[in-house]
Every structure is written in C-alpha cells, then in structure tokens.
Amino acid sequence: MEILSPEEIIDGFKKALGDSFIDSKIYEQEVAVKKNVFRTIWVYVKREAFRKAVEHICKLQEYPHLAIISSSDLGDSVELIYHFTIYYGHHLEEISLGLRVNLPKNDLKIPTLTDIIPGALFTERETQEMMGVEVVGIPDSRRLFLPDGFPEGVYPWRTDETGPQDILRVLPGRKQK
Amino acid sequence: MTMEKVETTYTIPVGPIHPALKEPVRLDLSVNGEEIVDVDIVVGQVHRGIEWLGMNRNNPIQSIYLAERVCGICCVSHPFAFVEAVEHAAGIIPPERAGYIRVIIAEMERIHSHLLWAGVAAHEIGFDTVFYLAWRVREEIMDLMEYVAGNRNTKAMFQIGGVRRDITEEQLPKIRKSLDYYKSIFNQLKTVFLDDTTIKMRTKNVGILKTEDALKLLTCGPTGRASGVAKDVRQDQPYAAYADLDIKAITPDVITGTVVGDVYDRIIVRLVEVKQSIEIIEQCLDEMPSGDILTEPKIAKLLNTLTKAEGEGVGRHEAPRGEVIHYVRLEPGRETLSTWKIRAPTYVNLMAIPTILKGGQIADVPIAFASIDPCISCTNRAVIVDKRTNKKSILSGKELHELSIEKTRKLKC
C-alpha cells in the first residue's frame, strides 16, 4: 500500500469524481516537542458522487475505518460528515478524512454504505432516527437509541419545527426556549 | 414412555439492567439447545442526550465536565478527545507540557481500567480469587490518581488549551514508587492470567473474532488488536505527547506468536498494554518539558474566544476500550457548540458481538461478552420464551453466573 500525502489524496479525489468534487480543505497542526503533524482532510462532494467517493477511499486503504457520521442542521439543508480514518496501522501516518455531503431538506436521502462497510449499520440507524435522513437500502431500519414509544416525525438533532421542543420537560421557573 | 426429540429455537433476552453494568444493553439470544444461533442487540436504555445538552444548554467549558460524565471509567478519554476537538476547531495550541500531563493521566486510566476488566473477567468465569487479586493491585493506581489529580475518578484534569493541574517535582518519587510496584508484580500477574489452566480452558478458542470480520465491523481497541488489527490512535496519529513517543500497537503474537482472536488473546493484549502504559508514563516523566500548563488561565477570556471562533475539528484518543472520537463545530456568536458528535469505542465493538457469540454456548456468554470490555459486563436476567407454548421462565443473573461457574468446575474435573 502506497501512502499518499494530503495533497495527492485530494488530487486523486478530483480525478475520480470530476465535476462532482466541490471543495476540499487540509488542516495540519504540529504537535508536542518533535513537531510531528496531526492531519485532517475535509472533502466536500455532491450527493450523486457520494458512493463513488467512498469507493475511492476504499482504494486508498482496503478497509477504511468509518468512525461515525455527524450531522448538522443548517436551516435549509442537512450536512452529513462521514468521518473516516485512513492509513491506520502505520506509525504517525494516519489521516482523518471527513467526507462532507449536503442534503436539501425536501429530499433527505442518502444511499447506505453497509454493503461496502458492514460496520456502518449502527451509525446509519442513528442518523436516520436522530436527524430524519432516510438511508436508502439500509438492511435494518429499526431505531437504535430512541425508545419505541418516541413520537414519529420528531428528530432530536433538528433545529426546525421537527425538533424535540414540544416534548422537552421544562423545569418550574424556567422559560421555554 | 418414549422420548420425542423436539428441536426448537428459544429466544433469551439478556439484560438490560444489572448492578455491575455501567451501561445497560439487552441481548436477544436465539438458542438451539445450548448453542447460540443468533444475537440481536438492543441499546438506548441510558441514552441521556449528552450531545443535545452540549448543543443547546452548555457552553464549551461546561461541556468538558459533561464529556467527563459520558462514562464512569473513561473519565479521561472523553474530555481528552473533546478538548482536542475544540482546540482544533478554535485554533488553540496547548503548551507542550500539558500534552505530557494529559498522556500521563490517560495512561494511568488505562492501567486501572485494564486491571478492573481483568478482575471482572475472572469473576465471570467464577474465579473470584483472581478477581480479588486484580482489584487489590488496582488500588495502588487509584491512590496514585488521587494523589496526582485530587480524585480517584472524574478527575477534572482537562481544560481547553491545557490541563488544570501540574505534576510537580515533589510528586515524582511517589509516582515512580507506584510504577515500580507494578513492574515488580507484572510477572506474577502474567503467570496468573496467562499460565493458569482454568483460565486457559475457559478462554482459549472461545468467542473468536477473525481479522477480516474485525476490519469489516470496524472493531477497534484491544478487541480489534487481539484479532490482529494493528490499529492504535497513539501509534497512528500524532496527538499530545504520544507524537513524541515511539508506540507500537500490541497484538497477541508478541506472546504466542499467532493471532487467534479469542478471549485469551484479548487478555494478552490488555495485560501487555498495562506494561506498555507503565513504560509510557516513565518516559513522559523523564522527558517532560517545563513551562506553562494552560494557554489561557482566565475562563471568561477563553469563553469569549470560543464564542467568537469559527471552525470544526476532530479530536481522537485511544481509550482503554478503543478509539474515542469527538467532532465539534463552532459558529461565531453562538455560546453553545453548533454540532457535537461523540463516538465511544463500545458503539462499534458491540457490532462484533453477534459474530463473537454465534456458535458458542450460553455458559460462555458472560465471559465472551465481557471480553470486548463493553460498558456492560454482566447479565441481569434472562427470560426464556418457548415459542411453541409462549411460556416464560426466568433465568436470573445469578443463575446464569452459576451456569458459568458450573462449566469451569466440569472442565476442572
């Protein structure tokens, strides 16, 4: 396995995705006394090329580690970041790679990754119940953390009207936000 | 009277509540006789919405202490990853000395956590003498942590941009004395855990997780390393003082020469990691640079900086159970975090549980399940539902534990 520099990785993404590649960012910070570098890459792609981007990551390392999917409610859209780490197992060579996808609120759908990375199941289930993003093709679409009695159509991580405001318990003497 | 042979699959829900659990989880075991054919995991019984609180109620500094309370054992790992994430997002660079103190306290936590696990694992197979022994030697590190951090647990050492307490010159002799104690008993511990016939019988070839499965299911930490995945954030990605040290991920072949991926291999990895932690602490004490421990000691000023800051960051730390990762996003003008996502190691390691338990016996459930060192190590009650008659019979945690002890006894005879 060849270990590429962050710039080379981004060039690889540009080549593989073409027009679907939107933006990228490299974050580097020197650490401790010996000044080794902590590196994070952020890659922003269009939703159509999302699966292709993940397949490209699998070319960088056969089994990339998908740590978690984070999601942010940006008002008109929901942003998902798939936090991968690549080049693990090599001393001080590991790079955190955040794959960013933006979904418009009227079409919250993202294809599943469980056929490529079976371990993505838990985090996809969590994104589905907490953010209301439909993961298309997920093999097990049950809730993960929320109880069965939790109302349908309420998503705790949203900041719009589908958020949990109505079911929050406000302590006596406190104002409702 | 003739006996008719009937084959039925029973479903046994195990959990979710037990006095020894740190995090309740329910396992639905489908069993055929004694053999486990399928496992389903139900989580969420203690979902407290900590991320939501960090995004809606607390300011980032209050969230450090909230992060500390994500887990009772990983009370260093979560704030460690969290402050790293906030520092990356806000562009704060902590002083070098703080990085060393962070590593020292994190490694102390690893020693105590692994010894705690060793005791629990011994208890699961009914070997309570070893349980008492492991927890007795764990006291030394608990006392040392109290001496250094002021508290045995929830130590509140971390602050954005550094640490809150220094390790002084006067403290060094006592720290070294405790480390010497662990070095002196290490071979004894090794003999107890790796050469004992009973432990070998109960743990070898039990709960196997193959390398490929571990890679596909994203297994991390000692569970992954025992299956031959040489993944360790301390080795892989430079952060805090780990970047200066030459750390190598421990896989079980350092002792046995092969990787099987069973419970025995997980014992090896954790045991050798205790030794590794002692060496890391000693190296840090020797090489620790002098200087400040905080970039900004005034909290109000720091909060002001954080409220103005814009950016996002990922903080990672190798907790005793595996990789902890925090993602933080800061928006200018917002007092709380804009996004906070936590990934604890058990989150991914639980996905390996069906693979680990399948094909095993009910009596192996306590030890095989405890072997990933989840924040859940025992089993409370098991309701056996006969699918044909819909009859329920309850198997208490005690009975399940007895089953496990029984198996040890039978093997001994």
- Please tell me if residue A157 touches chain B, with a CB cutoff of 8 Å: yes
Bridge pairing between strands B392-396 and B381-385 = antiparallel
State residue B6's pLDDT score: 62
Three-state secondary structure call for residue A53:
helix
Q: In this structure, what are the phi and psi dihedrals at residue A100, rounded to the nearest 5 degrees?
A: -105, 130
Angle between helices B96-124 and B77-90 (to 10 degrees): 150
Nearest-by-CA chain A residue for B52: A157
Instruction: List the pLDDT tens digit at each of the 413 positions of chain B.
Output: 556 666 677 777 776 665 434 457 777 888 887 788 888 888 877 777 888 888 888 899 999 998 888 887 878 999 999 999 999 999 999 999 999 999 999 999 999 999 998 998 888 888 889 999 999 999 999 999 999 998 888 888 999 999 999 999 999 999 999 999 999 999 999 999 999 888 888 888 888 999 999 999 999 999 999 999 999 999 999 998 999 998 999 999 988 888 998 999 999 999 999 999 999 999 999 999 999 999 999 999 999 999 999 999 999 999 998 999 999 999 999 989 999 998 888 888 888 888 888 888 877 887 887 777 765 322 223 334 444 455 555 556 677 777 777 877 777 76
How far apart CA A158 and CA B93 sit, in angstroms, is: 32
Assess contact for A113 and A58: CB atoms under 8 A: no
State residue B384's pLDDT score: 40
**Do the Cβ atoms of B243 and A72 come within 8 Å?**
no
- Please tell me if residue B240 touches chain A, with a CB cutoff of 8 Å: yes
Three-state secondary structure call for residue A55:
helix
The pLDDT tens digits for A8-41 are 999 999 999 999 999 999 999 888 888 899 999 9
**Do the Cβ atoms of B215 and A63 come within 8 Å?**
yes
Joined tokens for residue B68: 């500390």
- Please tell me if residue A67 touches chain B, with a CB cutoff of 8 Å: yes
Which residue in B229, B327, B331, B337 has the most chain A C-beta atoms within 10 A of its own C-beta, making it the best mutation to test that interface? B327
Residues in B closer than 8 angstroms to A128, CB to CB, are none
How many beta-carbon pairs under 8 angstroms link A with B?
137
Which among B49, B239, B350 has the least Cβ separation from residue A31? B239
Bridge pairing between strands A21-31 and A36-45 = antiparallel
Nearest-by-CA chain A residue for B246: A91
> Residue A129 is inside which H or E element, if any?
helix A121-131
- Please tell me if residue A31 touches chain B, with a CB cutoff of 8 Å: yes
**Do the Cβ atoms of B240 and A70 come within 8 Å?**
no
For residue A66, pLDDT over 90 is answered with: yes
Residues in A closer than 8 angstroms to B289, CB to CB, are 33
Assess contact for B145 and B151: CB atoms under 8 A: yes
**Do the Cβ atoms of B231 and A88 come within 8 Å?**
yes
- Please tell me if residue B99 touches chain A, with a CB cutoff of 8 Å: yes
- Please tell me if residue A143 touches chain B, with a CB cutoff of 8 Å: yes
Residues in A closer than 8 angstroms to B248, CB to CB, are 91
How far apart CA B157 and CA B146 sit, in angstroms, is: 11
Which residue in A54, A58, A79, A94 has the most chain B C-beta atoms within 10 A of its own C-beta, making it the best mutation to test that interface? A94
DSSP states of B193-224: HHS-HHHHHHHTTSS---HHHHHHTT--HHHH
Which among B216, B235, B248 has the least Cβ separation from residue A119? B216
Residues in B closer than 8 angstroms to A144, CB to CB, are 43-44
- Chain B, residues 390-409, CB within 8 A of chain A, namely none
Phi-psi label, residue B293: left if phi above 0, alpha if psi -120 to 50, beta otherwise:
alpha
Overall CATH class of domain A6-167 = alpha beta
Domains and CATH numbers, chain B: 6-45+350-412 (no CATH), 50-347 (1.10.645.10)
Three-state secondary structure call for residue B107:
helix
Nearest-by-CA chain A residue for B215: A63
Which among B229, B339, B350 has the least Cβ separation from residue A72? B339
Assess contact for B55 and B337: CB atoms under 8 A: yes
Q: What is the mean pLDDT of chain A?
A: 89
Cα–Cα–Cα angle for B354, B360, B366, rounded to 5 degrees: 80
- Chain B, residues 38-57, CB within 8 A of chain A, namely 43-44, 47, 49, 51-52, 55-56
**Do the Cβ atoms of B316 and A96 come within 8 Å?**
yes
The distance of B241 to chain A (nearest Cα, Å) reads 6
Residues in B closer than 8 angstroms to A36, CB to CB, are 238, 243-244
Q: Give residue limits of the domains in chain A.
A: 6-167
How far apart CA B196 and CA B15 sit, in angstroms, is: 30
- Please tell me if residue A150 touches chain B, with a CB cutoff of 8 Å: no
State residue A148's pLDDT score: 81
State residue B386's pLDDT score: 44
**Do the Cβ atoms of B237 and A38 come within 8 Å?**
yes
The distance of A156 to chain B (nearest Cα, Å) reads 8
- Please tell me if residue A171 touches chain B, with a CB cutoff of 8 Å: no
